[in-house]
Amino acid sequence: MPDIHPTAVIDKGAKLADGVQVGPYSIVENDVIIGEGTQIHSHALIASGARVGKQCQIHHGTVVSTVPQDLKFEGEPTTLEIGDHTIIREFCDLNRGTNDRKKTRIGTNCLLMAYTHVAHDCDVGDHVILANGVQLGGHVTIGDWVIIGGLVPVHQFCSIGQHSLIGGGFRTVQDVPPYILTAGEPLAFKGLNIVGLKRRGFSSETISVLRKSYRYIYRSKMNTKQALDKIKSELPDLPETRAVVEFIQNSQRGII
């Protein structure tokens, strides 16, 4: 059975699994599903359309699955999905989707630190860390294992590639390719995310190939197409190099 504080307000249409805890003065609206063992701390709002996984932590003052801040939104039924074992810290603000993607998604094993904003139709991968005050515009896509430093605003429709790291306080207005470190104003390539890649078990050979790939892209006199052609023709055909090429070829806003 769920453990609900007497001051909490739970709509009859909400579905709370066994072991869910709801703290003082929190509100859970209609059309909400919360998985087993998840804890909702005090003064949180879990609004209609929320789909929260198992063993999550949603801390004080957090607002989950509220209406998008989008003038095109017309009240259509959409959702905000949070994967298992994800931690949402104090005063985060997570909006549900619009007709465009129908949902906003936050993956499993993520950490969203205090005051993070995730706007409508964002897709946040697994094992992502968003530090304090990160602000995601609408339709942002973030790959697995990305880390974004504090107070970073990410422009709507940007994509952030897997295993990349964005330094704190730097405005992100174009796509960030996978596996790299970025910093500066304007945001720029600063090398591979070597520490992150080693911690996650990438081999020395793979790291070496990725380093050569980005040397072609950022350190040579070749244009982007020439660099990608050289990667495909001269470097080993690895999943990681294919991910780099495909990310850049599919970029809608252009890469940093």
pLDDT (tens digit per residue) in 149-178: 999 999 999 999 999 999 999 999 999 999
pLDDT at 30: 98
Token pair for 49:
């359309």
- Record the tokens describing residue 230, joined without a space: 């050289």
State the distance between the two ends of the chain, measured CA to CA, in whole angstroms: 50
pLDDT at res. 112: 99
Strands across the sheet with 129-130, in order? 3-4, 21-22, 39-40, 57-58, 87-88, 111-112, 129-130, 147-148, 165-166, 180-183, 188-192
- What's the pLDDT score for residue 170? 98
Is position 60 annotated as part of the catalytic site?
no
Q: Domain map of the chain by residue range? A: 3-157, 197-250
Which member of 138, 149, 161, 196 is catalytic? 138
Q: Which residues pair with 111 in a beta bridge?
A: 87, 129
Q: Which of 120, 127, 139, 163 is catalytic?
A: 120
What's the pLDDT tens digit per position in 106-131? 999 999 999 999 999 999 999 999 99
Helix ranges, 45-143 (H): none
Average pLDDT over residues 48-69: 98
CATH of 3-157, one of 2.60.40.10, 2.160.10.10, 3.40.50.720, 2.40.50.140: 2.160.10.10
Q: By the 8 A CB rule, do 34 and 54 touch?
A: no
The strand pair at 57-58 and 39-40 is best described as parallel
When the pLDDT of each residue in the chain is averaged and rounded to a whole number, the result is: 98
pTM of this prediction? Answer: 0.97
Catalytic, 138? Answer yes
pLDDT of 41: 98
At residue 17's C-alpha, the angle toward residues 13 and 20, to 5°, is 105
Q: Which of 149, 208, 150, 156 is nearest to 179 (CA)?
A: 208
For the chain, give the percent of residues with pLDDT over 70.
100
CATH number of 197-250: 1.20.1180.10
Active-site pick, 121, 123, 126, 175? 121
Instruction: Give dist(CA 183, CA 190) in Å, integer.
Output: 7
126 given a catalytic annotation? no
The owner of tokens 């980005």 is 214
- Which among 75, 134, 73, 128 is positioned nearest to 106, based on CA atoms? 128
| Residue ranges in the chain assigned as alpha helix (H) | 194-199, 204-214, 224-234, 239-250
Write down the pLDDT at residue 117. Answer: 98
